[in-house]
A and B are shown apart, each in its own frame.
Chain A
Amino acid sequence: MSNELEQRLAAALEARAGQVGPDDLTPRGLPGPAGRGPSRAVWVGLAAAACLAAVGAGVVVPRLLADLDASQPPPVSRPDVPPDVGQDWEPIGGVESDVDLDGDGEADRVRLRGEPDPDFEGRTRLDVELSGGGSAYGVVALGSTLATYSPRGADLDLDGADEMVLTVDVDEATTAPRVLDLRDDVLVEVAPAAGDGTPLVAGPVRAGTDPATGLVEQRAADWWLADGTLRSSVSESAYPALGMSWWVPDPFVAQVVTWRLEGDVLVPRLDEDVCISRLEEERRPCEPGEQDGLPDLAPVADDLVGAGESARLIGGLPATARIIRSGRSDRVVVTPDGGRPSGFTIFGKRLRVFTTAPSALVLDEVAAAYDEDGDDRPDGVLVAPTDGPITPLRAPDDQRAWLAEDGAVYTVSGGSGRVELGQWARDGDDLLVVPLGTVCLPDDGDVTAAERC
């Protein structure tokens, strides 16, 4: 076949290469030692690492590019697993593999067997039929023998053959890759070096506690395989979490590392930062100077009803609110659809209720935001269960708050300029302000025009 094809290929390559001549090259001298600094990504990474260390978070510790001179061939341990372990264990079905362990360009076939265990938490034996001939096996603890596994391949040591990557559940919210390297026909588990704090998980990574609010702060981590490489990311900032809620901006800036296998350990190499949008389901290069996104600050909900009026609440669970004048006070009566009415009074206060429900902070019960001082701003939230009395949640502080049409209540620490943006959240029978960062408001104080400073 190939004499003609080889000649055509060589000629085409020569033609393409010949399109660049000496005169086409940009005038550049040999890079000098003093002129060569770390790439942008390295500096960003170092800065980020310093920030993370400053808040006491054991997270990204980027390894810079390996020094080819200083590094000796990394140690490679040899497996010591008897070949007959697990050959009679229960087959695990549904395995869909895409891995080329012998580097011949063809996918290998993988079978799994689970060690009998009453809790289905025994070890797993992997048997591989190598497409180029021969076989391999391994015995690893994957956590569960009930799960469905899809072994995938990534050439992490750049030797032309894949390592096997399995996804395992760390907990309900977190997965991690389990990497197996083929050595002497045995699959050997490899992992980041002990003490390497670079996250290699998908899910929240606890970064500490905000001393001002007491809220847990978590970084958003992820990992993925792309183009035969294993990569992971972790958000440069940590975001507050409370119960099942986690205030992650969209998009957010994340630091990315590519993992390489060096000897027995996976080593992270800093890569370009990305901006991750969960809404857009994308990872993309950040724009110059791009920061974490702000919440979509919906228009202000400013429709209220007062004494003698009633309204269907918009958003949230269906319900009706009406306000009854009662002497020097007003009484708010909330009636969930299919439930019993219940009332709420503050002695001596004229109450009004927003027709938009604060559905972003009370998800599973009827809720209404009220104004007690006539300034058209929410002063608290009334939670009305279907069968029970109203629970009032009072404003956590006296900062300027507003109810947005999407049911969220935001706060700012000032009228214009550089202010702290916050959002109300329910914490049991209390409200608290979740800090969302510093923003700049225009001179007219239009909160929906807030931007990162």
Chain B
Amino acid sequence: MRAGSVDDGGPSVGLEELYATHRLSLVRLALLLVDDVAAAEDVVHDAFARMVARRTPLRDPHAALGYLRTSVVNGSRSALRRRRTARAYAPPLDVAPTSPEDSAVLAEEHRAVLDGLARLGRRQREVLVLRYWSGLSEADIAATLGISRGTVKSTASRALVALERVMTQEADR
């Protein structure tokens, strides 16, 4: 997505304000994608760093947030790839296992859902997070992930089916 590439000559988005307002929610978004707080913070930091480094400032706050969101999703993918590299390219799952502390705090019912989510494919997981946590429209998800709205719709539908299936399988064990 290149939503923020147009310089319309208006006042640029205040980056400090953007950072103060959206850093936490973006870290949470990254956390849901990489399942590691430190990695999530790094991903968001890098996303803001890229925005700071832009030669053309963004004028539209919505576009700026969209840019950051896309950057966070892409950065999360990179973080997961690096994590896989660290495991000699042979990960059993895309998402790291949760820490004991996390498991202790999260209710079991939530943990079951999150474990199931972790077993989905990367794109399915991203679509579900953006839809059911970020609350984005299909159009915004499509723009964030760089895919068509139809693909968003079909991916979300298949992802829910797959999630229900893996959760059922786990429950039957």
Contact = CB atoms under 8 A, between A and B. Distances in A.
B147 A33 contact: no
Given A33-B52, A36-B53, A5 B164 contact: yes
B71 to A, nearest CB: 9
Interface stretch (A281-289, A295-303, A426-434, A435-443): A281-289
A15 B81 contact: no
Interface string B139-154: 0000001111001001
Contact of A68 (B54, B129, B145, B151): B54
A229 B55 CA distance: 29
A19 B84 CA distance: 25
A354 B84 CA distance: 48
Given A2-B160, A15-B106, A103-B151, A226 B16 contact: no
A366 B82 CA distance: 49
Interface stretch (A22-30, A140-148, A306-314, A381-389): A22-30
B145 A22 contact: no
A271 B82 CA distance: 9
Given A2-B160, A227-B81, A36 B49 contact: yes
A268 B115 CA distance: 34
**Interface size classification for chain A:** 35 or more
Interface string B116-132: 01000111100011001
Contacts of B89: 226, 283
B113 A272 contact: no
A229 B122 CA distance: 12
A8 interface: yes
Interface in A1-47: 1-2, 5-6, 8-22, 24-26, 28-33, 36
Contacts of B164: 1-2, 5
Contacts of A20: 24, 27-28, 31, 37, 40
B68 to A, nearest CB: 12
A158 B55 contact: no
Given A8-B109, A25-B24, A160 B146 contact: yes
Interface size range of chain B in the complex: 35 or more
Interface string A265-289: 0000001101000000011110000
Nearest to B70: A68
Contacts of B110: 11-12, 15-16
Given A10-B133, A159-B146, A70 B114 contact: no
A13 B132 contact: yes
A104 interface: yes
A177 B123 CA distance: 24
A226 B132 CA distance: 28
A272 B164 CA distance: 36
Interface string B42-74: 000100111011111000000000010000000
- Consensus secondary structure, chain B interface: helix
B85 A272 contact: yes
B133 A69 contact: no
A180 B22 CA distance: 40
A105 interface: yes
A229 B54 CA distance: 26
B107 interface: yes
Nearest to B128: A9
Contact of B41 (A5, A25, A228): A25
A67 interface: yes
A237 B3 CA distance: 41
Contacts of A73: 2
Given A229-B81, A283-B85, A14 B133 contact: yes
Interface string A67-78: 111110100000
Nearest to B112: A12
A31 B49 contact: yes
B82 A69 contact: no
Given A15-B106, A30-B48, A227-B122, A9 B132 contact: yes
A16 B106 contact: yes
A29 B48 CA distance: 10
Contact of A160 (B23, B31, B85, B123): B123
Contacts of B2: 68, 71, 73
A449 B168 CA distance: 57
B171 interface: no
A28 B26 CA distance: 14
Nearest to B67: A68
B85 A5 contact: no
Nearest to A274: B85
Contacts of B31: 16-17, 19-20
Given A19-B102, A160-B147, A282-B88, A1 B160 contact: yes
The 9 A-B residue pairs with the shortest CB-CB distance, nearest first, are: A160-B147, A12-B113, A17-B28, A12-B110, A13-B133, A31-B49, A69-B56, A30-B19, A15-B110
Given A5-B160, A19-B102, A285-B85, 5 more contacts: A10-B132, A12-B114, A17-B29, A28-B45, A36-B53
Interface of A: 1-2, 5-6, 8-22, 24-26, 28-33, 36, 65, 67-71, 73, 103-105, 158-161, 226-229, 258, 271-272, 274, 282-285
Interface of B: 2, 4-5, 15-16, 19, 23-24, 27-29, 31-32, 37-38, 40-41, 45, 48-50, 52-56, 67, 81-82, 84-86, 88-89, 94, 102, 105-107, 109-111, 113-114, 117, 121-124, 128-129, 132-133, 145-148, 151, 154-155, 158, 160-161, 163-164
16 contacts: A6-B132, A9-B160, A10-B132, A16-B32, A16-B106, A16-B110, A17-B28, A20-B27, A20-B37, A30-B48, A32-B52, A73-B2, A103-B147, A272-B85, A282-B88, A283-B88
